[in-house]
Structure 1
Amino acid sequence: MDQARYDKGMKRLQQMNNMSTIGSRLMEISPELNRYIKEFAFGDVHSREGLSPRDHELVIISGLCALGFAAEEMRSHINMGLNAGLTRQEILETFIQLAVYAGFPAAVNATFIAKEIFDARDAKGIKN
């Protein structure tokens, strides 16, 4: 375990105002996997300076759409993307573009997940 990497990952997650429950739920069953995600995905990769947090999220959302089977992660990253400055329209346009390359089923599934997130944010009074 590398505490500095973990702390860096936690800082990034806090900056992104992640509203996901993935970490707390994962902690119950696999604290090790939860820690690796925070150390590597957020401490090492997501914290790199080459892209803005907003652009990191656009890339991640695109990759998750292309995978077509990562609904929990998609929910989390749509929220983080919106918190980082992506607009709803940019997210939906991304899925339209990806329909050509990742397939229509993946784009449709991602669009429905985005609608869930948009509705949840609207219900909480979060306008972006």
Structure 2
Amino acid sequence: MTLHQQTAPQTRRDRGLDALKRIDGQGGEAVVNALADIAPDFADMLLEFPFGDIYTREGLDLRSREVATIAALAAMGTATPQLKVHMQAGLNVGLSREEIVEICMQMAVYAGFPAALNALFAAKEVFAEAA
């Protein structure tokens, strides 16, 4: 490339797609594709804000971001499908099964035993699918 040639800056959507592929792989793509026929604008928002803006920020690596995300979703106790996607993402970015189990157990202290139990059973399903 010469000095006069420049590549176009990556858009928020492009950054989001790249991050989604690195983090969630096919699971994330399936979520975006599932939204295409009902809420394509929401699919774009999902790519642009969390993945294009937040996940690509400096300050935390992807592994740390997934620890925080798994903990938050587990504590909510109402987002099992998203929790499973992010548990798989955690595995994708270097978390071990043992670390994911410990994150779930830690939630018993702050979110209660029911939330921790739900998260542990979600982890069990994710691990079985990954085997």
Please give the TM-score of this superposition, normalised by the length of structure 1.
0.89
Which residue of structure 2 aligns with residue 89 of structure 1?
98
CA shift for structure 1 position 28: 2.2
Q: Relative to structure 1, is the Cα distance of residues 101 and 17 closer, same or farther in structure 2, using a 3 angstrom cutoff? A: closer
Amino acid aligned to 1:35:
D
Amino acid aligned to 1:114:
A
Structure 2, unaligned runs of 5 or more = 1-9
Alpha-carbon RMSD across the aligned residues, in angstroms, is 1.2
- Alpha-carbon contact 2:24-2:85 (below 8 Å) kept: no
Deviating beyond 3 angstroms after TM superposition, the runs of 4 or more aligned structure 1 residues are: none
After TM superposition, list the pairs within 5 Å mapping 1:66-105 onto structure 2: 66-105=75-114
Determine if the alignment matches structure 1 residue 54 to structure 2 residue 60: no
> In structure 2, how many angstroms separate the alpha carbons of the residues matched to 1:105 and 1:68?
8
After TM superposition, list the pairs within 5 Å mapping 1:11-50 onto structure 2: 11-20=18-27, 21-50=30-59
Aligned length, in residue pairs: 120
What does the per-residue CA deviation read over 1:15-53, in whole Å, with 9 as the maximum and x for residues that have no partner?
225231222112221111111011001000111111111
Please give the TM-score of this superposition, normalised by the length of structure 2.
0.87
Amino acid aligned to 1:68:
G
- Alpha-carbon contact 2:13-2:48 (below 8 Å) kept: yes
Q: Quote the sequence identity (%).
A: 43
Amino acid aligned to 2:86:
H
